[in-house]
Chains A and B, each alone.
Chain A
Amino acid sequence: MKSLFQAPYSLFLLFFALLLLSALPVRAQSKYWVFFKDKPEKQFDARQYFSPRGYERRVKRNLPLGDYYDLPVASRYTGEVMALADSFYARSRWLNAIVVSAGSTSLDQIAGLPFVKGIEPVRTLQLARKTEDSLRIFRIKKNDSLLLRFQLHRMKGEVFKKEKLDGKGITIAVFDVGFRNADIHPAFQHLFQRGAIRATYDFIGDDPKVYDRGSHGTMVLGCLAGVYDSIPMGLATGADFLLARTERAHLEITFEEYSWIAAAEWADRHGADIISSSLGYSDVRYFQEEMDGRVAPISRAANIAASRGILVINAAGNEAGNSWGTIVAPGDADSVLTVGGVDPRTDAAIAFSSAGPAADGTPKPNVVNLGIAFTSFPRKFGTAEGTSFATPLTAGFAACAWQANPGKSNMEIFHMIESSGHLFPYFDYHHGYGIPQADKVLGLAAKTAPTFHFDLSDAYLEVKINEEFVPEKDEDGKLLSHPGNLYYKIVKANGKIRKYGVVLAEMDEPVYFERDDLKKGEKVVVHFEGYTESYIIDEEL
């Protein structure tokens, strides 16, 4: 065996040491949230803090001006922490916290300050799979024009058009990775001509410019208010917009989570009624069991935004096909309207759409929308898929619903959108309450007559579809009309969903539930063609 002290070994030890030393600065420069106990500075000038539109919104919606969340983070606290910390990164009025980097010794000293409530690490910086960026982008096809018309028709958007509802008077803040070429794209010229883009800010680059980086926001904005050949791609063509860049396109870093929070506070100051966020954070920073709306700072901030009267709409995530599977933050927050995706070809959950519930059992997603949409790309139009696009389609719907009901609060609109879902009152963890329907939210929908009935046989609980809803067939057995989806769920006695699914009702046959599979106290809930009915198992079958 060689001597342990020969030259190459020493060199190797040196290399080890260098590796270790290169790791240490990472620890030394770790970022932390430092939360404060109180806000001693009570001076607050609402007219100075809010933009005129933001001030007007607070007054119009009877929201408080200058409550605890609006008060600034104490500059004295920040100063004392910064005397011990290495660098300052961000502050949040809503969370009453600042983000700093500090070594472990300094951190102990900071934690010992009498006004510090707690310290949480900002989760690690790393290259990551982007939750909402794994989009397959197709070339323009013949079917695109069909999809273009269908994506608004699926929400009965023609009813809003008939009622002249286009989101006018509503301000929507869009948070994304950037809006490349949106300022020169023909899809948005109507917005720029009437000055509908009221403010922009790049929270990554600390710069007002948002049109030179990141394409995802251009695509999302298209599903909100874009126009293709005079045909609207989203429902909110009359709304005003605040555009914020809060995320990098390819490198996901922790900075983005608090840039989202900073953008939410900015949106509040500038009078946003709705936040449409097609972003999400998952396994890079969190575990599934932490998706309860209380762990992720972004989820806590989203709930605070809702308490400020803002309707926060966020994508459920595209995680169904991988190990994460479930909702991403801030979609886990209970006051966030979380939007899943459906396949326009089947009207059932699209393969990638994240499923609920949140870790604390909060029912998620709240609603769904098309997970494949026709939209604008930086240099063209095309079709893209992801819950990223279901979200702005829903945000456009929300703008019209709020325009029609200006006296309602954000949470009233939240529940109106839920109850306007095409499946409502049926709910499951893939489809939520279904796709929002304009006629339902405006109270114009007719009550649906029963479309099926339950029948208990010796071996099965049968769901028999009424004859008029069975699709007709020609002599060769080919369907003459599209069969409807039958949604079912089995709910345990404690109210939790045990099982659910979708059946394509294409034949004149019942849908069977084995009696052996049903327990006393459970409930079978079925939705078919606008009609929902339950069957309660009141005896051992």
Chain B
Amino acid sequence: MKNFTLILILLAAMNLAQAQTEILQIDVDTDSTESQFGANRRHFIHTFMSLGLHTQIPVSGNYNFPRSTYSSFGVLYKLKLSDYFSTGVTLSMESSNIRLSKDRVLPFPDTVKHNKETLQQFALSGSYYLRINMEKRGNSIGKYFELGIGGLLQTGANYQYEEPLQGKEIMEVKIRHYRLIRSSNWYLYSALGVNNFAIIARYRMQSFFIDNSGFPEAPPIMLGFSWGFF
């Protein structure tokens, strides 16, 4: 008898599904729960993209680093401490292209003067930050100033350049697993942001190349902007 009743209920339920189309159903209690997650709630997480330039500082009079670029894509977690203070971590994949320009033949990275010499570094980066918000606001990020410390682990490094051949032909040379770039590093960074957008600055705390390479230092400062996706 119990089984028969169950079958009847199931049939009735199927009948309901077939009979009428429900075009709106709201469960007020579950749909109206106050969230702990949000731009200015206890927890917030979002992805971000950053683009920047390694500053062209002539650390050695014989070298220049024009148009050296930085890019990253990652995820940011924010923990709200109060209306004005929050903290959090980031995890990102990043890439740096250090362009090299020699004014004459020099021993770095080799003893030949090439065209479009570039040192590429790919890395997994993580950071911890403290954020200060400027004003009281609603459930939005608002204006903030941020200070952080981070480290990176190299996942790939290349040295590449172009070599002119006879006529208009060009030979592109790429040396993978370039070993003279330091495989881990750490940095300080700061950001000044408004909602999705932030101006970022980063200072590398260790030399770009390994200690005994004898190479000059690559630009330690990166300036750029970051865009949060939320």
Interface residues of A (CB under 8 A from B): 1-2, 7-9, 11-12, 15-16, 19-20, 22-23, 26-27, 30, 121, 123-128, 282-290, 323-324, 346, 348-349, 355, 428-430, 459-460, 485-486, 496-507, 509-512
> Contact at A504–B38, with CB atoms within 8 Å?
no
> Contact at B188–A12, with CB atoms within 8 Å?
yes
> Contact at B134–A128, with CB atoms within 8 Å?
no
Shortest C-beta distance, B195 to chain A (Å), equals 5
A428–B24 Cα distance when bound, in Å, is 12
A507–B138 Cα distance when bound, in Å, is 47
Q: Nearest chain-A residue to B29 (Cβ)?
A: A498
> Contact at B24–A502, with CB atoms within 8 Å?
yes
Q: Nearest chain-A residue to B207 (Cβ)?
A: A2
Q: Nearest chain-B residue to A15 (Cβ)?
A: B201
Which residues of chain B are near A19, meaning CB under 8 Å? 145, 190, 192, 199, 201
Q: Nearest chain-A residue to B200 (Cβ)?
A: A19
B49 within 8 A of A: no
Known contacts A126-B195, A286-B139; A20 and B25 CB within 8 A of each other: no
Shortest C-beta distance, A99 to chain B (Å), equals 14
B62 within 8 A of A: no
Which residues of chain B are near A16, meaning CB under 8 Å? 147, 190, 201
Between-chain CB contacts (< 8 Å), 7 pairs: A12-B201, A30-B135, A288-B139, A498-B28, A500-B28, A502-B24, A509-B15
> Contact at B206–A123, with CB atoms within 8 Å?
no
Known contacts A499-B28, A500-B28; A459 and B12 CB within 8 A of each other: yes
B143 within 8 A of A: yes
A124–B141 Cα distance when bound, in Å, is 10
CB-CB nearest 4 A-B residue pairs: A509-B19, A501-B25, A286-B138, A124-B135
Q: Nearest chain-A residue to B34 (Cβ)?
A: A289
Summarize A's interface: helix, strand, loop or mixed.
mixed
> Contact at A23–B134, with CB atoms within 8 Å?
yes
B35 within 8 A of A: yes
> Contact at B142–A503, with CB atoms within 8 Å?
no
> Contact at B12–A512, with CB atoms within 8 Å?
yes
Residue-by-residue, is B133-154 near A (CB-CB < 8 Å gives 1, otherwise 0)? Answer: 0111111101101010000000
Known contacts A126-B142, A509-B15; A429 and B26 CB within 8 A of each other: yes
> Contact at A283–B12, with CB atoms within 8 Å?
no
Which residues of chain B are near A22, meaning CB under 8 Å? 192
Which residues of chain A are near B147, meaning CB under 8 Å? 16
Which residues of chain A are near B8, meaning CB under 8 Å? 459
Known contacts A123-B138, A127-B194; A288 and B24 CB within 8 A of each other: no
Q: Nearest chain-B residue to A30 (Cβ)?
A: B135
> Contact at B143–A348, with CB atoms within 8 Å?
no
Known contacts A286-B139, A287-B139, A500-B28; A124 and B203 CB within 8 A of each other: no
Which residues of chain A are near B140, meaning CB under 8 Å? 124, 126, 128, 283-285
Contact partner, B19, options A15, A26, A429, A510, Cβ 8 Å:
A510
> Contact at B143–A506, with CB atoms within 8 Å?
no
Known contacts A289-B34, A506-B21; A500 and B26 CB within 8 A of each other: yes
Given A2-B205, A282-B138, A512-B16, output 5 extra A-B contacts at Cβ < 8 Å: A8-B57, A12-B188, A124-B135, A126-B140, A287-B138
For B19, B35, B143, the residue with the greatest tally of chain A CB atoms inside 10 Å of its CB is: B19
> How many residue-residue contacts, CB under 8 A, span A and B?
161
Which residues of chain A are near B195, meaning CB under 8 Å? 126-128
Shortest C-beta distance, A297 to chain B (Å), equals 13
Known contacts A8-B59, A127-B194, A355-B26; A20 and B145 CB within 8 A of each other: yes
Q: Nearest chain-A residue to B15 (Cβ)?
A: A509
> Contact at B143–A124, with CB atoms within 8 Å?
yes
> Contact at A23–B23, with CB atoms within 8 Å?
no
Which residues of chain B are near A11, meaning CB under 8 Å? 57, 221
> Contact at B39–A283, with CB atoms within 8 Å?
yes
B156 within 8 A of A: no
Q: Nearest chain-A residue to B194 (Cβ)?
A: A126
B169 within 8 A of A: no
For B188, B203, B206, the residue with the greatest tally of chain A CB atoms inside 10 Å of its CB is: B203
Which residues of chain B are near A497, meaning CB under 8 Å? 28
Shortest C-beta distance, A16 to chain B (Å), equals 5
Residue-by-residue, is B1-44 near A (CB-CB < 8 Å gives 1, otherwise 0)? Answer: 00000001100100110111111111111000011001110000
Contact partner, A288, options B34, B199, B207, Cβ 8 Å:
B34
> Contact at B26–A496, with CB atoms within 8 Å?
no
> Contact at A283–B139, with CB atoms within 8 Å?
yes
Known contacts A15-B201, A26-B143; A504 and B20 CB within 8 A of each other: yes
> Contact at A459–B134, with CB atoms within 8 Å?
no
Q: Nearest chain-A residue to B147 (Cβ)?
A: A16
Which residues of chain A are near B57, meaning CB under 8 Å? 7-8, 11
B109 within 8 A of A: no
Which residues between 91 and 147 of chain B lie within 8 Å of chain A, taking CB atoms? 134-140, 142-143, 145, 147
Which residues of chain B are near A23, meaning CB under 8 Å? 134, 143, 145, 192
> Contact at A12–B203, with CB atoms within 8 Å?
yes
Shortest C-beta distance, B26 to chain A (Å), equals 5
Which residues of chain A are near B20, meaning CB under 8 Å? 486, 503-507, 509, 511
B74 within 8 A of A: no
Which residues of chain B are near A125, meaning CB under 8 Å? 143
For B24, B217, B221, the residue with the greatest tally of chain A CB atoms inside 10 Å of its CB is: B24
Which residues of chain A are near B39, meaning CB under 8 Å? 283
B66 within 8 A of A: no
A285–B136 Cα distance when bound, in Å, is 8
B224 within 8 A of A: no
A325–B179 Cα distance when bound, in Å, is 53
Shortest C-beta distance, B190 to chain A (Å), equals 5
> Contact at B23–A502, with CB atoms within 8 Å?
yes
B220 within 8 A of A: yes
Q: Nearest chain-B residue to A497 (Cβ)?
A: B28
Known contacts A19-B190, A124-B143, A509-B19; A499 and B138 CB within 8 A of each other: no
> Contact at B134–A15, with CB atoms within 8 Å?
no
For A15, A19, A286, A460, the residue with the greatest tally of chain B CB atoms inside 10 Å of its CB is: A19
Which residues of chain A are near B188, meaning CB under 8 Å? 12
> Contact at B22–A502, with CB atoms within 8 Å?
yes
Which residues of chain B are near A323, meaning CB under 8 Å? 35, 38, 139
Contact partner, A284, options B138, B201, B223, Cβ 8 Å:
B138
A127–B193 Cα distance when bound, in Å, is 11
Known contacts A19-B145, A123-B135, A128-B140; A501 and B34 CB within 8 A of each other: no
A459–B10 Cα distance when bound, in Å, is 11
Which residues of chain B are near A282, meaning CB under 8 Å? 138
Q: Nearest chain-A residue to B132 (Cβ)?
A: A23
Q: Nearest chain-B residue to A285 (Cβ)?
A: B138
Which residues of chain A are near B207, meaning CB under 8 Å? 2
Shortest C-beta distance, B145 to chain A (Å), equals 5
Which residues of chain B are near A428, meaning CB under 8 Å? 26
A516–B188 Cα distance when bound, in Å, is 60
